[in-house]
Every structure is written in C-alpha cells, then in structure tokens.
Amino acid sequence: DKIACEDLLVHEYRENDFPATIVRPSHTYDATKTVLSGGWTSLARMLAGQPVIVHGDGTSLWTVTHHDDFARAFVPLLGHPRTYGEAFHITSDDVLTWDQIARALAAALGVTARIVHVPSDVIAAADQEWGAGLLGDKANSMVFDNSKLRSVVPGWRATIPFERGAREIADWYLADPARQVVNERLDALMDKLAADFSE
C-alpha cells in the first residue's frame, strides 16, 4: 500500500498544493531490532554455537541505517519548501552482505557465526512470513543513491557503521533477560533447515 499512499500525496500536492514530502527509508534499525531474520532467536543460536540461517548464498547486498543517522537527515527535511512534492531516500552508504551482517552481530556477542546458507525459496516454502520478507525484499541487493537528499541537507553523511550498531543491539538484548525470548517454532525450523543444508 506504500505506492498508493505516495500516489495520494502526490495527487494532493499537484491538485491542492498540499505540502507533502515523501521519505523512503530502507532498513532503519535501533538497538531493539536485530536486523537478521529471527530476531533474538538467531542471536541466541549464535551464543549457543548453533548454526544461524542466512538466505541465499549470503552475498546479496543490503543497506542498514542507524536510527540516529536517519534522524539527522530527516529533521532538516521537515517544512523545507524545496522538499514539497518530492521523494527522498534516507539510507546509509554502508553496504554489507548478509554474511557480513551475521558476522558483525556474532562479533558483538563475542562469538563466531556458524552460517548455513539456505535458498530463499526454500525458506519461503517452510515459513510464509519469513519468506515473504526475503522474496519480496531482502533476497535482492539494495544499494541507494542519497545525492538528492544531500542537495537539500548538504554535508549529511551516515556516520554509524553497522559494527557499532551491532554492539548496541547485543548490549540491549544482553542487559535484560526478559528481552531474550526464543521463538521455539522458529528455532526448530532453523535446526531443520541447518541440518538439510549444512555442508
């Protein structure tokens, strides 16, 4: 429904001078979002020395943006007359493979990730919700151009690398055992997928 919302806003801007600005973040995260599919379940598996599932061959490119970097770009757009009727990407320029994302999270936990690659369509067949996020999004490499944003917010750069964000994620989860909830169904599925696709 995102495109329908954008179409409505653009129509209102063109027909009624409604001061709409469209902002398109990609994968924006904070300490509560693990980035890797499975949430805490994947991190718990890393800590236990169990295999963690990465879709495809782990080499597709993905852009993750720390919420602080996003905010520093977003706030200057508010009410800026040159943004009306326009659309802007706000993403980091820090592009990682999914294997690098998994390894950064493991390093933040003080362990080494035991990665098992599973085809995205196999994951989708086994778990529709998990698969939908892969086939419709994460299985494809995503790299963005922020030059239009910088034309309105000169000098803006995303400055927080994912390795730092991964440490924030690990610290947040480890600080409170109540946050460390393993999804037993997903954990069992990960065991099965890892057994089926381990080399």
Give which of 22, 30, 33 is closest to 152, Cα–Cα: 22
Cβ contact 63:126 at 8 Å: no
For 115-163, the pLDDT digits (tens) are 999 999 999 999 998 988 888 788 888 899 999 999 999 999 999 999 9
Q: What is the pLDDT of residue 119?
A: 95
For 73-111, the pLDDT digits (tens) are 999 999 999 999 999 999 998 899 999 999 999 999 999
Interatomic CA distance for residues 132 and 75, integer angstroms: 31
Cβ contact 120:131 at 8 Å: yes
Q: What is the pLDDT of residue 199?
A: 66
φ/ψ of 109, rounded to 5, equals -90, -5
Tokens encoding 79: 């009410």
Give which of 122, 155, 134, 110 is closest to 38, Cα–Cα: 134
CATH architecture, range 2-197: 3-Layer(aba) Sandwich (3.40)
Query: What residues contact residue 146 under an 8 Å CB cut-off, 6+ apart?
Result: 73, 89, 90, 91, 93, 156
Rounded to 5°, the CA angle 186-141-163 comes to 70
Say which residue the tokens 């943004």 belong to. Answer: 83
- The structure's pTM equals 0.92
Q: What is the pLDDT of residue 101?
A: 97
Q: Where are the domains of the chain?
A: 2-197
Q: Strand runs (DSSP E) across the chain, as ranges?
A: 22-25, 27-29, 52-55, 61-66, 87-90, 95-97, 115-118
